[in-house]
Structure 1
Amino acid sequence: MRRTPAFLLEDEREVRRLVTENPWATIVSAPESGLVASHYPFFIDDEADGLTLLTHVGRPDETLHELGRHEVLVIVQGAHGYISPGWYGTEEFIPTWNHVTAHLYGTPEILSDEENLRVLGELVDRFEQRMPEPRSLAIDADYAARIARGTVGLRIPITRIDARLKLSQNKPPKVAARIIGALEGDGPYADPALAREMRRVHGDPHAAL
């Protein structure tokens, strides 16, 4: 990503939050056959010392990616959206795109069948806990184990982070406030999720008006 100092995201806690709130990510690798990209849900290994991701891939993706043999890139995309220059309240006419994005690098470790089944169970539980009647792989452990054999579990210790938090930090407070107001409105580019991220950075927009 373009290395703009004003938008660098270097706080690992914020990167962890980004992964937790946006678990559907893209894994990219460069095997001898050429670039390969796949999309899977990820979550953080809370028992690891550093930032470590857990996921799984469906067979034969582990072969296509040559997983475990080289570094991969995991792209995590948070809130993002178009920012119209008409929201600036000035004569500017150049638009931009605000976003929260992390590029996470590491070499995957292949999990054992037992570890993979445990990770799959935890993944299901993390999403099902919001449901009124949560389902679990424990309902039929034997059947779950058979299904799990069609997947390969991964643990990816992250060795390098390249993240951006581009939320109009380079604009005056009053302009940021107008942008947030437009994103919270009902226009064609309204985006409440992006507005919430901007509020985290800029605080109460009305205080600047």
Structure 2
Amino acid sequence: MRYTPYYLMNDPAEVARLVRENPWATWTSPATKGLVASHYPTLLDEEATAASGELVLLTHFGRPDERSHELGKHEVLVIVQGPHGYISPSWYPDPSDMVPTWNHVTAHLWGVPEILSDDENFEVLGQLVDQFEQHVAAPRSLQLDETSARHIATGTVGVRLRVTRFDARAKLSQNRTAEERERITAELRGEGHYAHPGLAAEMERLA
């Protein structure tokens, strides 16, 4: 990502929040046959992160995707994309302003994946299901039929990634005046084509 000092996110706790709130991540690998990208739900390993002070990610790959990525043989890049959206210059008070932009919150995280055992993988799959099912009226669990769930789990590979470095940005109109930022936030919370309450909330957090 372009280096712009006042957009940098240096706080690991903020990057951890971004992962928690935006669990659909892109995993990319420089495999022998070329770049490979896959998309998987990704959790923060809260216990390992708290114990080590490092960001630790958990996910699973569907077979044979793990072979395409050559998991464990090299560093991978995980991209976590938070709220993002178009910012129209028509939202600025100066009528001569004509340059639009795109606000976003994004993190790039690097590390070498660790392949989990079958039992660890099943535990991660259970965590993933429970994490998302908790928000529905009648949540389901892998424990409803563990035997069948374990059979299905053989088609997946569990992965743990200890993040060795990250590069994160919160580009949220920090270069604009307080009045302009208020107008942008109001438009994002409005009913127009580019309304985006989630992006407005990120701007309000920064303020």
Give the TM-score range, shorter chain.
over 0.9
Deviation at 1:104, TM superposition (A): 0.5
Aligned residue in 2 for 1:87: 91
Structure 2 residue runs without a partner (length 5+): none
Does residue 35 of structure 2 align to residue 58 of structure 1?
no
Give per-residue Cα distances to partners, 1:48-74, cap 9 Å, x unaligned: 111100000000111000000000000
Alignment coverage as a number of residue pairs: 202
Structure 1 residue runs without a partner (length 5+): 203-209
**Partners in 1 of 2:56 and 2:170 — Cα distance?**
21
**Mapping 1:1-209, distance limit 5 Å:** 1-48=1-48, 49=52, 50-90=54-94, 91-202=96-207
Percent identity over paired residues? 61
Deviation at 1:130, TM superposition (A): 1.3
TM-score normalised per structure 2: 0.96
**Partners in 2 of 1:200 and 1:63 — Cα distance?**
41
Secondary structure in structure 1 of the residue aligned to 2:47:
coil
For the aligned residue pairs, the C-alpha RMSD in angstroms reads 0.7
Quick one: which amino acid aligns to residue 135 of structure 2? R
Quick one: which amino acid aligns to residue 123 of structure 1? L
Secondary structure in structure 2 of the residue aligned to 1:76:
strand
Secondary structure in structure 2 of the residue aligned to 1:35:
strand
Quick one: which amino acid aligns to residue 181 of structure 2? A
Aligned residue in 2 for 1:207: none
Give per-residue Cα distances to partners, 1:29-51, cap 9 Å, x unaligned: 01110000000000011121111
Quick one: which amino acid aligns to residue 77 of structure 1? Q
Deviation at 1:88, TM superposition (A): 1.2
- List structure 1 segments (4+ residues) > 4 angstroms apart after TM superposition: none
**Partners in 2 of 1:121 and 1:179 — Cα distance?**
41
Deviates more, 1:182-191 or 1:157-166: 182-191
**Partners in 2 of 1:189 and 1:122 — Cα distance?**
34
Quick one: which amino acid aligns to residue 57 of structure 1? F
Give per-residue Cα distances to partners, 1:148-184, cap 9 Å, x unaligned: 0000000000001100000001111001001001111
TM-score normalised per structure 1: 0.95
Quick one: which amino acid aligns to residue 128 of structure 1? E
**Partners in 1 of 2:45 and 2:12 — Cα distance?**
14
